[in-house]
Amino acid sequence: MVTVSDRKLSKPLGEKLEVVDFHTDFPGDQMPTATTRNTQDNQFLGHRVHFIGIGGSGMCGLAQMLAQMGAVVSGSDRTATAATEKLSKLGVQIAYQQTSDSFPHEAQYVVYSAAVRPDHPELLEAQKSGIKIFKYAQMLGRVMRVKHGIAIAGTHGKSTTTSMVAYILSRAGIDPSYIIGASSRQLGGSAHGGSGDYFIAEACEFDRSFLNLHPRIAAVLNVESDHLDYYHDIHDITGAFGQFMSQVDPDGVIITSSENPWCQEAAAVAKARVETYGLSGTPDWLATDIKSAHGRLSYWVSYQGRRSAQLALRIPGRHNIGNSLVAAAIARHCHVSWDVIASAIEDFAGADRRSQLLGDIRGITILDDYAHHPTEILSTLAGLRELYQPQRLICVFQPHQHSRTRSLLEEFAASFSSADIVIIPDIYVARDSEADIKAVNAQTLVDRIVANGRCGRYIPTFPEVVTALKTELKAGDLVVSMGAGPVWKITHELVHQL
């Protein structure tokens, strides 16, 4: 369900956006429309699917989608959350005791999340019962085979781009299915089981989970060093992205960066047609005539050297020019008109925890963002400074994983160039070894930030950070929390206390 925001954004340049579509021979015209393909029979209709760890990220979205596709869905988790409450309202039966007795033996499929341990009592009971068992990513791949799959991969930018594609196709009346790693108020959540033939999903590279997907249309936004607790190096990462690209339907299309050399290396093994995008050079999809008015960006899209449409962004940051360019390209391959694309992109307000405005209190602007990789931090902070033009930009960044901090320490230290003050609480521990924890800590990062000429401070706990901010903030300041962990609690509590 799409809920268009009540607050309309005026044209950034005070002008009507233009469309000059010359593409009578656009390759997307040979792609199937949302009504021309006979999708496979819905093998989940009326079947019982049980989710172990149903409240987890991704799991709740997949459970919702299957329920809307006609499956009988049940699940279990440790505690009730907003996500599980939403599923309960859809008729999903959820147990919270998670014992062998709570397992429904009438289930035909069992799905479990990466967080579920091998000795989980329900998982052991499912194994004894001989029921078909799938990891989350495996089931995601099976569901995608029922639809025209659209998968969006990359080290960063996936959630924003996936949300934008889902929003554009929804505005076009196609009613796609989608699973996104972040919630969107305009989409009414993070997942939907639509009546249309398209299924849009984030393709996560961790644990090589995206290799379970065989999409018709794919995007690889960027390839950079990350998840080095799992991958050996950038070459290992690039190889995985290459395998993902090789699995795209040979009759489909891949859209990837012309400016990222690792994307180009990965694309060399693709069987599908490869189209490139970028902000310079001669890619297939080029953003030209980029303009900024009061922090709002607009640009022209050129396809293979010919102008097509002018697009304007409501969300900040030059990195979102690339994200929106990819979303527009995917939408064109789904036969969406430029008028609809331009209107939807201009109205798109972003996904939760992506430069999300939490409040403007006594002249103090408070935001939250999911950025946890140096490239994301650098581009997001630059975009916020350009849009809001604060007197001081204060970033509260909680590093996610000692291993990631250790591997990318110098990159992190250099990524705060647009911030006036950087506050670092203790590192969020996830999948870290004792060696990683001993090798680096929050003070280590602060020391490197200071060495790079920025004002850095180590404040260990969230309550201490909130207290310090309340004491020091003044009108004209912008404070943003950043990180993949629960650092959002700081800015939410700050809004509450102010």
DSSP code string of 250-309: TTSEEEEESS-HHHHHHHTT-SSEEEEEESSSS-SEEEEEEEEETTEEEEEEEETTEEEE
DSSP 372-385: -SHHHHHHHHHHHH
Task: State the Cα torsion 88-93-94-100 to the nearest 10°.
Answer: 180
Contact 291, 13 (CB under 8 A): yes
Task: State the Cα torsion 419-395-459-360 to the nearest 10°.
Answer: 130
pLDDT along the chain (498 residues), means of 10: 36 53 57 48 85 90 91 93 90 90 92 90 93 94 91 94 97 94 89 91 91 96 90 95 97 97 97 97 96 90 94 92 97 97 95 90 95 94 93 97 94 97 96 91 97 97 97 96 96 96
The pLDDT, as a whole number, for residue 23 is 52
The pLDDT, as a whole number, for residue 393 is 98
Q: Of 88, 97, 41, which Cα lies nearest the Cα of 64?
A: 88
Convert 82-115 to b/e letters by CB count within 10 Å (16 or more is b).
Answer: ebbebbeeeebebbeebeeebbbeebebbbbbee
Strand arrangement of the beta sheet that strand 306-312 belongs to: 189-192, 177-184, 198-202, 148-153, 217-220, 253-257, 273-278, 285-293, 296-303, 306-312
Contact 457, 424 (CB under 8 A): yes
Distance of CA 11 to the CA centre of its chain: 26
Q: Can you tell me whether residue 20 is helix, strand or coil?
A: coil
Contact 353, 492 (CB under 8 A): no
Convert 433-446 to b/e letters by CB count within 10 Å (16 or more is b).
Answer: eeebeeebbbebbb
Residues whose CB falls within 8 Å of the CB of residue 144, separated by 6 or more in sequence, listed in order: 151, 199, 201, 213, 214, 215
Distances (CA, A) of 285 to 28, 71, 257, 307: 13, 40, 10, 10
Contact 322, 345 (CB under 8 A): no
Separation CA 318–CA 380 (nearest Å) = 9
Question: How many Cα atoms occupy the beta-carbon half-sphere of 454 within 13 Å?
Answer: 26
The pLDDT, as a whole number, for residue 37 is 42
pTM for the full model?
A: 0.85
Residue type at position 347: D
Kindly state the tokens that stand for 479: 């404070």
DSSP 447: H
Longest dimension (CA), the chain: 66
Kindly state the tokens that stand for 163: 């949300």
Dihedral over Cα of 14, 16, 20, 21: its sign: positive
77: left (phi over 0), alpha (psi -120 to 50) or beta: beta
Length of the chain in terms of residues written: 498
Separation CA 404–CA 422 (nearest Å) = 18
Strand arrangement of the beta sheet that strand 48-52 belongs to: 93-95, 72-76, 48-52, 109-112, 132-135
Dihedral over Cα of 82, 85, 87, 93: its sign: positive
The pLDDT, as a whole number, for residue 392 is 98
Tokens 């706990």 locate to 461
DSSP 190-220: EEE--SSSEEEEE---GGGGGGG---SEEEE
**Domains assigned to the chain:** 48-135 (3.40.50.720), 147-347 (3.40.1190.10), 356-497 (3.90.190.20)
Distances (CA, A) of 58 to 7, 140, 157: 29, 9, 17
Separation CA 192–CA 74 (nearest Å) = 17
Residues whose CB falls within 8 Å of the CB of residue 111, separated by 6 or more in sequence, listed in order: 49, 50, 51, 52, 59, 62, 63, 133, 134, 135, 136, 139
